[in-house]
Amino acid sequence: MAYDPDNIFAKILRGEIPNDTVHEDEHALAFRDIHPVRPVHVLVIPRGAYVDVGDFAVRATADEIAGFWRAVAAAAEKAGVAGGGYRLIANTGANGGQEVPHFHVHIVGGGRVGPMVSPRPDRN
Ligand code: DGP
């Protein structure tokens, strides 16, 4: 799948749509999800144009990949969930339920997150 430069996260990166920033650096931006599913729900996105984790793994530089994961950890610290624990989610493609085609990781926490996935996928 080709990268769509008009996806919502590309617009956030360009400053065309506001965001509630938790952490930012040269490699990544972390901001609060507009529809939080837990008390803490932060999205972390690389600044580069990558559709999903597979695209990121193949095309990103080693510096971008290291910087991205350091930003995930920094965002979890700044959001206050690093001590108690949290969950990372990377929805990927149609079956994974990915809505925005710019690679991102969800940080969810702020209390017990609960079962890893719904026991009934048809109810998602
Ligand atoms: P996913 O299904 O993994 O592609 O998750 C996309 C998430 O992006 C979803 O939880 C809602 C969030 N989202 C969509 N549009 C916006 C936006 O304009 N601002 C913010 N902060 N989050 C958004």
Q: Is the CB–ligand 1 distance for residue 35 below 6 Å? A: yes
Whether 35 sits among the annotated catalytic residues: the reply is no
Q: Give residue 107 CA to ligand 1 midpoint distance, Å.
A: 12
Domain ranges of the chain: 8-109
Q: What is the pLDDT of residues 29-87, one digit of tens each?
A: 999 999 999 999 999 999 999 999 999 999 999 999 999 999 999 999 999 999 999 99
CA–CA separation, 34 and 36 (whole Å): 6
Its pTM stands at 0.96
Q: What is the CATH number of domain 8-109?
A: 3.30.428.10
Q: Is the CB–ligand 1 distance for residue 37 below 6 Å? A: no
Q: What's the one-letter identity of residue 51?
A: V
CA–CA separation, 113 and 103 (whole Å): 22
